Structures are given as structure tokens and as C-alpha cells.
Amino acid sequence: MTARLSTGTARFGVAAIILLLAGSAQALTFISPMGEPFRTQAGDKPPEEVWFERADKNNDGKITRAEFLADAGHFFMALDVNHNGEIGPEEIQHYEDDVAPEVNSSGFGDGDGHARRHGGGVSHGGNAALDSEGVSSSGDSSDPSPPEHYDATGEGASRFSYLDLPEPVAAADTDFNRGVSPKEFVAAANERFDLLDANHDGVLTRDELPHLGGARMDHDPQKPGAKHPPGQNGPNPR
């Protein structure tokens, strides 16, 4: 009991530190489409730009599907701490508690690894890449003050991201077995790439990605997962 309490207290402390930093007026946070957090300080490069430049391997100003999948693979391998080829329940919990505590709607985890698995409209969800088959190429009121780049209308990670996915890693668990396989993760990556590829040309550019830090809307309001400006619940409000 004491060991469990100590572990829980330590996790709470890590989450508190990260969230307090994210809540600082000097900090910016971005959660990538696959759930990876990027944090920078005011005056530095915006965190979404840090993600874009890393994903754009050939620096041509575009993220291809292959590059997007490679970036997903990079993060999958980072989350698969025990290297068993799956993001298991304990690794999902580690993600929610320690890696990206922003996914918790109230700022901190509820400890069950389930409550934040829903996604607002998207129901399914370092160089290790995932190919098209999902195979690794290498074999309460206590919340901190909202940071800049914060969408108060969303929940969890969707407050800091392009997509309405409160918990983007667990959202990839489509068979609800409390784990995420490479195949599930790449299926989620393909779906999210299609959602962000507004003009359906097979690449993502900075101009077509939703803007962060203010009113945001996906280019097609009819799409699942589309974000709407504050005060709007959907297209053509009456």
C-alpha cells in the first residue's frame, strides 16, 4: 500500500511539474496528431513548427504520408518501453501520467486508463517507421492557468492539438483490449493524415493545417474531428 501510494505520489508530482510549466505564460505546448507532446518557451520556435520540421525529413515544406507514418513509428517505438511490439496498458498509463499529462481533461489522471479514450468525432483511431501494414521497419478548479496555444473548448490533448482527440494514443485501440498494436497505430496514423490533408493531394503543408492559438476550424466542417471556432458546435449555426 505504501509503495503504491509513493508511486502514485511521484506520478502526480511529475504531472504537476509538466502542467505547471505548460500553464506558464512563457510556455507553449503542442500535441502532435499521434499524441507526442512538444513544448517550447515564448520567443522560441512554435512547438508545432518543431514537430513539422522533424516530420518533414527532406525539408521540402511538405509532410508526405510516408513521412507522417515514419514520425508515427518514431513515437510508437518511444512508447513501447519494454520493446514487445505493443503499447500495453502500463505504457498507456505512463503516457497519460508522465509523458503527456495534458491528455487528462482535469489536468491530472484518473488512474484507470479508460475514461479519456473517446475522441471528439474521430472514433478510431527515432527513425523507426511503420509501413502500410503497420510493421516496424526496424523489425476541478485546481488546473494551472491556460497557456498560449490553448483551446478551452476542447478536452485533454485536443486543447493543444489539430484534432479533437482527448487521448490520441489510447484512441488507436480499436479492439478495446487495452493495448495498441503497430497495425492499430498505423491505421490511426493513416486516418489522421487523411483528416488533415484538406485538399487531398497526399501531402500536408503548413497552410492547410489548422492554426493554433485562437479560433480554429478544420477546412471541412463536415469531417469527423473538425474543430470549430468558440461558440460554434458545428457548421451553419442558427
User: With helix as H, strand as E and coil as C, how does 132-200 read?
Assistant: CCCCECCCCCCCCCCCECCCCCCCHHHHHCCCCCCCCCHHHCCCCCCCECHHHHHHHHHHHHHHHCCCC
Is 62 a domain residue? Answer: yes
CA distance 16 to 109: 11
Instruction: Please say whether the beta carbons of 34 and 75 come within 8 A.
Output: yes
Count of the separate structural domains present in the chain: 1
Is 185 a domain residue? Answer: yes
Is 98 a domain residue? Answer: yes
CA distance 238 to 228: 14
pLDDT in tens, the chain (238 residues): 434 434 444 554 555 455 554 444 457 899 999 999 999 988 899 999 999 999 999 999 999 999 999 999 999 999 999 999 999 999 999 999 999 999 986 443 333 433 333 333 332 233 344 554 444 444 433 443 444 444 555 789 999 999 999 999 999 999 999 999 999 999 999 999 999 999 999 999 999 998 775 323 233 333 444 443 333 333 333 3
Domain span including residue 105? 2-205
Is 224 a domain residue? Answer: no
Is 226 a domain residue? Answer: no
Is 220 a domain residue? Answer: no
CA distance 57 to 67: 7
Instruction: Please say whether the beta carbons of 51 and 133 come within 8 A.
Output: no
The CA R_g of the chain, rounded to the nearest whole Å, is: 17
Is 229 a domain residue? Answer: no
CA distance 89 to 28: 29
Q: Which grid coordinates belong to 54? A: 522533424
